[in-house]
Amino acid sequence: MRKLDRYVGASIFFAILTVLGIIVFLSLLFAFIDELSDVQGRYGVAQAAWYVFLTTPQRIYELLPMASLIGCLVGLGTLASHSELTIMRAAGVSLGRIVWAVMKPMLVLMLVGILIGEYLAPWSEKLAQAQRSMAQGEGEAQSSKHGLWHRQGNEYVHINAVQPSGLLFGVTRYHFDDKRRLLSSSFARKAQFENGHWQLENVATTHFHARSTEVVRADSQSWDIDLSPQLLSTVVMDPESLPISGLWRYIHYLEGQGLNSERYWLAFWTKVLQPLVTAVLVLMAVSFIFGPLRSVTLGQRVFTGVLVGFVFRILQDLLGPSSQVFGFSPLLAVLVPAAVCAVVGIILLRRAG
């Protein structure tokens, strides 16, 4: 039985890796073509290619569930086409045993996916964002297309580029009173975190009085804001690119500031439940092979896998924003598509058994 488990597991494992390689390559190609529209000045084709390459771990992490679905359909479909699954069933191998043999390599892939999503992808994504922002402009106020906005109290901050070390470039600040009237604006070319606070360099501040304005320049200036380099590394990235631990910290920071955190809760539950979602999609793929896709061609299986994967992704993408608009829990937005797939898979497996 162990040899049989290894044989089935190896077939599924290499099929998933093959599918994952193909769809990640296509994703990188389309991303590079899209990134060429931003090429200008110091941000050339080589820099765009390097940026897209650095996003590879994040793309692997995001595409792993779909690759698992299609890969299982291809791997099991190949075994079914050669009548190997029929021989296994005729030899007395239960359907549950085959499902467990398929799930074994998936446990390895789920573990690798968790490690990529928690450690490698956030690091490479942070480096990619920093290098692109640096190349696109760090010296002028709000010159970077991909800069970030942050708010704390009555102060609104725009940062052109953030280095992974915590060095900031192009810091623009707007300070308002309680009636939303602009009191002052300032621009600093750099900011460095030293001795527990931020130190701004080359600062130009414009104060807005009732009938006049006043410009004050300083070589350096202390900046008191409750924003550590660790927290800033979270702010600069999209929620989908953050590790689970970073999402947890930033969610509580936002709630402490009285800001909306629903988007980050959605990303948090999506990452926490991704292993479960992957397992459900694999279960559905197995049920398809022993059910409606038992005797179809390989091309039809691949088409079905792509179709089901896209429908699942679209359903997730619709429910996610809907949870923020209509106010229901982001956890439901992640669980409902998975629950539907699980029910479909279990029903089909029972019929096949």
Is 257 contained in some domain? no
202-251 per-position pLDDT tens digit: 899 998 887 888 888 888 888 888 777 777 777 777 888 888 988 888 88
Contact 158, 191 (CB under 8 A): no
Q: Percent of the chain having pLDDT more than 70?
A: 93
88 and 55 assigned to the same domain: yes
Q: What pLDDT is attached to residue 143?
A: 54
pTM: 0.80
> Is residue 222 a part of any domain in this protein?
yes
Whether pLDDT at 138 is above 60: no
User: Which residue in 84, 75, 70 sits closest to 102, CA to CA?
Assistant: 75
Residue-number span of the structural domain to which 231 is assigned: 148-235
The tally of domains found in the chain comes to: 2
For the chain, give the mean pLDDT. 84
pLDDT at 55: 94
Residue 251 in any domain: the answer is no
> Are 52 and 115 in a shared domain?
yes
pLDDT digit string, tens, across residues 118-130 = 999 988 988 888 7
Q: How confident is the model at residue 63 (pLDDT cuts 50, 70, 90)?
A: very high
Given a cut of 90, whether residue 33 has pLDDT beyond it is yes
| Residue 160 is assigned to a structural domain of this protein | yes
Residue 140 has pLDDT above 80, yes or no: no
- Evaluate whether residue 252 is within a structural domain: no
The answer to whether residue 184 scores a pLDDT higher than 70 is yes
Domain-located, residue 258? no
- Are residues 212 and 90 part of one domain? no
Same domain for 100 and 154, yes or no, is: no
Same domain, 6 and 129: yes
Mean pLDDT to the nearest integer, 151-169: 80
Judge if 302 and 342 occupy the same domain: yes
pLDDT at 315 over 80: yes
For residue 245, tell me if it sits in a domain. no
Overall average pLDDT of the 56-72 stretch: 92
Are residues 131 and 45 part of one domain? yes
Q: Are residues 113 and 65 in the same domain?
A: yes
With a cut of 70, say whether residue 295 has pLDDT above it.
Answer: no
Does the pLDDT at position 137 exceed 70? no
Residue 244, domain member (yes or no): no
Domain shared by 25 and 114, yes or no = yes
Based on the domain organization, do 156 and 129 belong to the same domain? no
pLDDT at 104: 87
Same domain, 9 and 129: yes
Sorting pLDDT into bands at 50, 70 and 90, what band is 54?
Answer: very high
Determine the average pLDDT of the residues in 72-85. 83
Q: What percent of the chain has pLDDT over 90?
A: 21
Cβ atoms of 19 and 100 within 8 Å: the answer is: no
Query: Is 216 found in the same domain as 177?
Result: yes
Q: Cα(331)–Cα(220) distance, rounded to whole angstroms?
A: 46
